[in-house]
């Protein structure tokens, strides 16, 4: 056995069943250990750790004292002038008195459970023995072992002082609308545990912040699928040579081309005249937001003309070579969007398939950040371009897991022309001041 290489793993259910069977067959611990390829001490520890003591069949029958043969105690009885040893006056009916009044009373314990095999499994005297039994059950031992593995990992493996420091750091930032990804990107060196542990702490109510302060700690209802449009958009003239298939074919020829996704964001039905025009750079996840006086082709064209005039057509072409958008009426004048007032070409427009918003899913997903500050259904008439600039600066300053902890703003400084940042007043918000709650624009 000394030269045997053991795997050092936990006992399996099968091995515990073999231990129980070996005990019932009267095998030695060494024999059982050889059968399951474990050290005998492992088997002994397993039995002693997970054995259990069932209730006695005749609890009314008193157990004799272990020290009865050598007992020298006197004067415990009520008889006057009695100088005999108490054990000389032994009466089975008075055994209870001995247990209750004798300070040295010790119940008799079977020697089999004090040494190997430590249990009564397989004992030939089991049925007629009135002493306290000890048994080993493979099922009980396996359940107790699994419970121990789980319970030893429960609880909080931090001191109260560390928890207080973590609470002071994390809870205020979560209440500002920041994600744990953003917090970790800038404070990971100060946090002594992983993000999964922080989610568990929040779920257990350890911090001041609660699950309600997390963005996605809820279940979302499945949206109903949209029905097909009444008039097929595929037959409309503005889509000719600008369909999503044409876009995919162009990307195969020039896979390194920069793509910008475009869409509009509306307020509630009937309560908002203004709208937001959003442009999303796929290469750096930077999102631009422009306030439209109305959701019309003229307002969208005005934004394009203003950008191309202030940036210059070459710079505009470099920043917006390909634009992918949906089939909204505000985008259905591609010739005017692709060319400036003087007819100079500045970009190329392509349209997603009808009811296929997933084809520009990066922008649709990024609209979540906007809805954290302006909930769906709220009017947009109260906001001007300064509010939109503040909002997009906070959105673009949040670190993303998809960017390996970097922010869209920092990445855009490397990939985009800096004229765009100067023109639109794009700035980096300090990490601890990033706020994506409704209080940002109130």
Q: For the segment 209-231, what is each residue's pLDDT rounded down to a tens digit?
A: 999 898 877 666 666 666 554 44
Please, which contacts does 272-276 make with residues 24 or more away whose CB atoms are closer than 8 Å?
A: 272/379, 272/380, 272/381, 273/381, 274/380, 274/381, 274/383, 275/380, 276/370, 276/380, 276/388
Q: For the segment 349-363, what is each residue's pLDDT rounded down to a tens digit?
A: 999 998 888 999 999
Q: Answer whether 419's CB lies under 8 Å from 437's CB.
A: no
| pTM of the predicted protein model | 0.70
Instruction: Note the pLDDT of residue 221.
Output: 66
Does residue 309 register a pLDDT over 90? yes
Q: For the segment 243-291, what is each residue's pLDDT rounded down to a tens digit?
A: 999 999 999 999 999 999 999 999 888 888 999 999 999 999 999 999 9
Specify the higher pLDDT residue, 37 or 64: 37
Instruction: Note the pLDDT of residue 186.
Output: 93
The fraction of the chain above a pLDDT of 70, given in percent, is: 91
Does residue 180 register a pLDDT over 60? yes
Q: Answer whether 38's CB lies under 8 Å from 79's CB.
A: no
Phi and psi of 107, rounded to 5°? -65, 145
Highest mean pLDDT among 65-79, 93-107, 422-436: 422-436
pLDDT band at 73 (very low <50, low <70, confident <90, very high): confident
């Amino acid at each position: 056995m000394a030269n045997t290489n053991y795997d050092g793993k936990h006992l399996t259910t099968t091995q515990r069943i073999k231990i129980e069977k070996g005990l019932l067959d009267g095998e030695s611990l060494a024999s059982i250990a050889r059968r399951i390829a474990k050290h005998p001490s492992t088997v002994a520890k397993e039995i002693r750790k997970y054995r259990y003591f069932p209730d006695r069949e005749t609890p009314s029958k008193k157990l004799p004292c272990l020290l009865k043969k050598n007992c020298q105690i006197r004067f415990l009885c009520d008889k006057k002038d009695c100088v005999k040893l108490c054990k000389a006056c032994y009466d089975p009916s008075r055994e209870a008195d001995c247990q209750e009044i004798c300070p040295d009373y010790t119940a008799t314990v079977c020697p089999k459970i004090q040494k190997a095999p430590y249990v009564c499994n397989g004992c030939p005297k089991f049925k007629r023995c009135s002493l306290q039994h000890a048994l080993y059950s493979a099922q009980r031992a396996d359940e107790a072992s699994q419970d121990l593995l789980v319970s030893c990992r429960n609880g909080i493996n931090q001191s109260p002082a560390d928890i207080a420091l973590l609470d002071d750091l994390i809870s205020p930032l979560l209440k500002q609308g920041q994600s744990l990804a953003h917090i970790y990107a800038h404070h990971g060196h100060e946090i002594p545990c992983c993000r999964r542990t922080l989610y568990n702490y929040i779920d257990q109510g350890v911090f001041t912040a609660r699950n309600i302060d997390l963005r996605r700690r809820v279940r979302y209802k499945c949206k109903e699928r949209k029905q097909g449009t009444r008039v097929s958009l595929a037959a409309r003239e503005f889509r000719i040579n600008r369909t999503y298939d044409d876009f995919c074919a162009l990307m195969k020829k020039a896979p390194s081309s920069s793509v910008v996704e475009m869409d509009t964001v509306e307020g509630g039905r009937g309560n908002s005249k203004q709208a937001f025009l959003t442009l999303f750079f796929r290469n750096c996840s930077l999102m631009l937001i422009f306030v439209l006086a109305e959701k019309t082709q003229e307002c969208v064209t005005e934004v394009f003309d203003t950008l191309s005039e202030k940036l210059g057509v070459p710079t505009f072409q470099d920043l917006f070579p390909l634009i992918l958008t949906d089939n909204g009426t505000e985008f259905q004048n591609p010739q005017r969007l692709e060319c400036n007032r003087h007819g100079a070409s500045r970009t190329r427009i392509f349209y997603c398939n009808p009811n296929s918003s997933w084809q520009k899913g990066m922008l649709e997903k990024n609209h979540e950040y906007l809805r954290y500050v302006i909930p769906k259904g709220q009017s947009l008439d109260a906001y001007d371009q300064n509010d939109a600039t503040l909002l997009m600066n906070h959105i673009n300053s949040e670190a993303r897991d998809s960017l390996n902890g970097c922010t869209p703003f920092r990445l855009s400084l490397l990939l985009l022309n800096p004229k765009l940042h100067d023109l639109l007043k794009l700035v980096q918000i300090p990490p601890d001041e990033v706020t994506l709650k409704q209080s940002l624009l109130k």
